[in-house]
Amino acid sequence: MPTESTFLLAGLFFVAAALGYFFARFGDDEETSDAAPPAGKLNADYIKGLNFLLNEKPDQALEVFMRMVEVDDETLETHFALGSLFRRRGEVDRAIRVHQNIIARPNLSEMHKEQALVSLAEDYLSAGLFDRAEDLFGQLKDSDEHGVYARRKLVRIYEVTQEWDNAVRGFEELEAIDPRAAAESRVAHYYCELAQQAFSRDDVREAHKLIDLAEKTANPSLRSKLLRADFWRSSGQHKKAIKLYGEIMDIAPRLIGDVVPKLAESCRATGEQGHLSRSLTKLLASDPSAGKAIGLATVYDPRIVNATALKCLKDFVLADPVLSNLVDLSPLADSDGPDSKQALERIREGLTRVISKGHRHRCRECGYISSELLWQCPSCRNWECVSPSVELNFSTFVS
Ligand SMILES: [Zn+2]
């Protein structure tokens, strides 16, 4: 049975055939009309190719259309559409054939050649052939029409292949010619990626130098501050880390769920529970809704024993309409005595077992969910769009 997209394709060719027929017969340029192929030939080829498509024989259809593009300039745009349709249907090999065929045409105008190079590069990207796509987009870097687009694609390729040095250079070149790029903070992220690589190979000095570079970019990201605090915490410099985590919570309450466990770890290491309590109390005074994220952090990280954080968990549990129907919360409401503490601990242990760690973060652009904080969404590839969730999400299966 012909599929829906086959009919779409068929419709496209009917329109193209009709237009080709019309201009061939009734065009006002006599010279062009004389040079055009006979209308009957045009129609016959289209209908032949169309029949192959309707009968789910795309390769035979391609052969017909490939031959046509060799003789007929007017069909060029139609063939671009055909290649694009093949790519969108996931038939990348056929899309590549169409676009390679266009590029191989003699006397192809510079405009159409660049258009075909862009399309072929898109095909290679779809096929995961990044080196070939990089080569073609590289040829288009100085194109008036496609230069900005090609440079953006090159940077995307460097992101996917994690060539962060190239990404820095590529994006800085892009900023010079594209005003929109100047408003983005991507270069800061690329330096952060390089800093993480340096830190993971124990080159701490280089890691901090790269963080310095990230902070000096035109649009620095909060990520660099968080990364530096993480470096200090991992290096045992907890006092520096505590100070920086405190600053981050003031600036970015949305990251509380990720920062609190790290701050708590550094406070445990230095025996400064009082400092953690003061930080959390200050945070709650400025934003009472922060209590939900703090309470959830104690569920994700059972090592958090801070009384202020556990009070947030208690308030969260008592206010949650689902939990109040599932669990007897009366011991919690009674007092702050030993029974209440034990009841809260039991509820916390239960929640830690059933909560879905995979749903801890969500991309606000595409809904992608992740267990960890990601600065670039792997699904939609946008930056700084993944945030900690402040909802309880339960695992489907509990072991
Ligand atoms: Zn996303």
pLDDT at position 191 over 50: yes
Distance from Cα 376 to the centre of ligand 1, integer Å: 8
- pLDDT band for 276, please (50, 70, 90 cuts): confident
- Exposed e or buried b for every residue in 65-102, given b needs 16+ CB within 10 A? bbebbeebbbbbebbbbbbbbbbebebbebbbbbbebb
pLDDT for 274: 84
Which DSSP symbol is given to 370? Answer: E
Distance from Cα 366 to the centre of ligand 1, integer Å: 4
Distance from Cα 111 to the centre of ligand 1, integer Å: 34
Distance from Cα 361 to the centre of ligand 1, integer Å: 11
Distance from Cα 159 to the centre of ligand 1, integer Å: 15
Burial of 27 (0-12, 13-18, 19+ CB in 10 A): middle
Please write the tens of the pLDDT for every residue from 281-308.
Answer: 998 998 888 898 999 899 888 889 888 9
Distance from Cα 360 to the centre of ligand 1, integer Å: 14
- pLDDT band for 334, please (50, 70, 90 cuts): low
CATH class of domain segment(s) 356-399: mainly beta
Task: Tell me the C-alpha distance between 92 and 90, whole Å.
Answer: 6
pLDDT at position 242 over 50: yes
Instruction: Say if CB 247 and CB 279 are below 8 A apart.
Output: no
For 215, the enclosing helix (H) or strand (E) is helix 204-216
Between vectors from CA 100 to CA 98 and to CA 106, what angle results, nearest 5°? Answer: 110
- pLDDT band for 62, please (50, 70, 90 cuts): confident
pLDDT at position 69 over 60: no
Distance from Cα 363 to the centre of ligand 1, integer Å: 5
Task: Tell me the C-alpha distance between 303 and 313, whole Å.
Answer: 14
pLDDT for 346: 87
Question: Dmax of the chain from CA atoms?
Answer: 98
Please write the tens of the pLDDT for every residue from 104-140.
Answer: 888 888 999 999 999 999 999 999 999 999 999 999 9
Distance from Cα 377 to the centre of ligand 1, integer Å: 5
- pLDDT band for 39, please (50, 70, 90 cuts): very low
Scanning the structure block, which residue is given the tokens 């990044």? 130
3-state secondary structure 378-390: CCCCCECCEEECC
Distance from Cα 384 to the centre of ligand 1, integer Å: 9
Distance from Cα 77 to the centre of ligand 1, integer Å: 33
Distance from Cα 382 to the centre of ligand 1, integer Å: 6
Q: What is the percent of the chain with per-residue pLDDT over 70, rounded to a whole number?
A: 83
pLDDT for 72: 59
Q: Are strands 386-388 and 369-370 parallel, antiparallel or unpaired?
A: unpaired
Please write the tens of the pLDDT for every residue from 143-170.
Answer: 999 999 999 999 999 999 999 999 999 9
Q: What is the percent of the chain with per-residue pLDDT over 90, rounded to a whole number?
A: 45
The residue ranges of every structural domain in the chain are 356-399
Mean pLDDT in residue range 251-276: 89
Scanning the structure block, which residue is given the tokens 């090609």? 150
Distance from Cα 367 to the centre of ligand 1, integer Å: 6
Distance from Cα 253 to the centre of ligand 1, integer Å: 21
> Is the pLDDT higher at 13 or at 134?
134
pLDDT for 327: 76
pLDDT at position 43 over 50: yes
Distance from Cα 236 to the centre of ligand 1, integer Å: 34
Q: Which residues contact 257 (CB under 8 A, 6 or more apart)?
A: 293, 294, 296, 297, 300, 360, 388, 389, 390
- pLDDT band for 397, please (50, 70, 90 cuts): very low
Gap between the terminal Cα atoms of the chain: 46
Distance from Cα 359 to the centre of ligand 1, integer Å: 14
